[in-house]
Amino acid sequence: MSEGQGQVVYSKPQLSRARLAVAVIFCVHGSVAGSFATRVPWIQDHADVSAGMLGLALAFPAIGASVAMPLAGWVSHRFGARAALRGLLALWTLALTLPSLAPNLVTLCAALFVYGATSGMADVAMNALGIEVETRMEKSIMSGLHGMWSAGALLGSAGGTVAAHLGSDARVHHALAAAVLTVAGLVACQGVLDLRSAPEEEAPPRFTLPPKSALLIGAVGFCAVFAEGASLDWSAVYLKDVLDSSAGLAAACTTGFTLTMAIARFAGDKVVDRFGAVRTVRVSGAFAALGGLLVVTAPNAALAMTGFALMGLGIAVVVPLAFAAAGRSGPNPSQAIAGVATITYTSSLIAPSAIGTLADATSLVTSFGLVTVLACGLMVFAGVLRTAGRTPAQASAPQTAPVDRKG
């Protein structure tokens, strides 16, 4: 390993190892989310809350994440990227145990706030490290990393489904899952790049508003995540209520949408490397808009399912590219990443309720007309992701370039 232009130069084997380590971390992060989601009914019964109160409680993860994510840059500056990720990821995996312990609404809201806060900080830290590896490898890897998150979510969901089928106590299930995932995360963190801020670099503020660049990039992510949240939560309802499909076919539509997104993310890096971020998102937006158009005009379930699949294909790579662009948009990448993450978390929070509210006032078809319009926004505003195509030398200014410390 040698120094070059203010930035440590890593060998290909070192970068490959770091890429694998970050991929495992994304998988671990997704597994926590999947493990939690499948046991929400058990948690609701244990805390003895109504559906309405549960809906209120489930807003707290996004609130916690939005409050805490700006702290991630300061933590990484203070302790170094590897140590920060190790600690934040462990807090997140261990926080999985908290919601199932809550005996009432107040404690459930508090537990979910902590759960969301640790999730958001770990999310920012692992995306920042993924972008550092991508910059040094000089090829796209972020789409594949987010594909690993999707794979982890599927694994966690599968484990949770088995546990629920067996009637196991979620407190026991989540304690065991947290133990396994914490160990896996700590082992994986040993392989990530040990980046530290230069001694003369000023520490970022603990809390700050996101830069303007993050707001523009985040707007693109907002459109994609809104379409994702709407499709995940409402696609089955759409097929059942609008097209009078069976419950099994409606559920298969949601599963198909999820699998389409995961597959597209794993294939996305090669597409981005060949065509660039801006062109990829513009074409992706066209697929998503076409999918939305098929959904709102579909006379039968088959055409609607095709539309949802096209939508999944179209939005799959947008959020990874938004994080990549944010990480290269200015001198404080963690702040920009936190800003984009906050916007996308907010989108995921409001999308399901916004679709439901509009559907109550008009119809589900109209609601997905709104989703189609937002998908068109991907084509219009894709140009703000142009920073994702910059070279490593352009992306890292000497005064903010991280240095390596053996530790």
Q: pLDDT for 117-173, tens place per residue?
A: 999 999 989 998 998 899 899 889 999 999 999 899 888 888 888 888 888 899 999
The predicted model gives 277-296 an average pLDDT of: 95
Residues 59 and 120 in one domain: yes
Residue 403 β-bridge partners: 196
Q: How far apart are CA 330 and CA 339, in angstroms?
A: 12
Tell me if 392 is assigned to some domain: no
The predicted model gives 220-225 an average pLDDT of: 94
Closest alpha carbon to 319 in 127, 173, 33, 190 = 127
Residues 216 and 131 in one domain: no
The predicted model gives 301-314 an average pLDDT of: 94
Residues 178 and 278 in one domain: no
Residue ranges making up the domain that contains 177: 12-190
Residues 317 and 231 in one domain: yes
Q: Which residue has the higher pLDDT, 295 or 67?
A: 295
Residue 213's pLDDT band, with cuts at 50, 70 and 90, is confident
Q: Which amino acid is at 36?
A: F
Tell me if 166 is assigned to some domain: yes
- Amino acid 407: pLDDT: 36
| pTM more than 0.85 | no
Tell me if 99 is assigned to some domain: yes
125-129, 202-206, 374-378: least confidently modelled range: 202-206
The predicted model gives 25-52 an average pLDDT of: 89
Q: How far apart are CA 116 and CA 124, in angstroms?
A: 12
Tell me if 202 is assigned to some domain: no
- Amino acid 250: pLDDT: 85
Tell me if 401 is assigned to some domain: no
Residues 178 and 216 in one domain: no
- Amino acid 296: pLDDT: 96
Residues 276 and 364 in one domain: yes
Residues 29 and 153 in one domain: yes
Buried b (16+ CB within 10 A) or exposed e, 211-227: bebbbbbbbbbbbbbbb
Tell me if 395 is assigned to some domain: no
**Count helices and strands in the chain by DSSP H and E runs:** 18, 4
Tell me if 397 is assigned to some domain: no
Residues 186 and 298 in one domain: no
Q: What is the DSSP letter of 207?
A: S
Number of domains in the chain: 2
Tell me if 199 is assigned to some domain: no
Residues 184 and 216 in one domain: no
- Amino acid 397: pLDDT: 36
CA 95 remoteness from chain centre: 18
Say yes or no to pLDDT of 405 above 50.
no
Residue 207's pLDDT band, with cuts at 50, 70 and 90, is low
Residues 185 and 40 in one domain: yes
Say yes or no to pLDDT of 203 above 60.
no
Question: Last residue of some domain: 190, 222, 253?
Answer: 190
Query: Mean pLDDT score of the chain, rounded to an integer?
Result: 85
The CATH number of the domain holding residue 285 is: 1.20.1250.20
Residues 337 and 281 in one domain: yes
Q: How far apart are CA 102 and CA 58, in angstroms?
A: 13
**Cα-based angle 91, 123, 314 (whole degrees, multiple of 5):** 145
CA–CA distance from 57 to each of 62, 161, 269, 358 (Å)?
Answer: 10, 22, 36, 22
Residues 143 and 232 in one domain: no
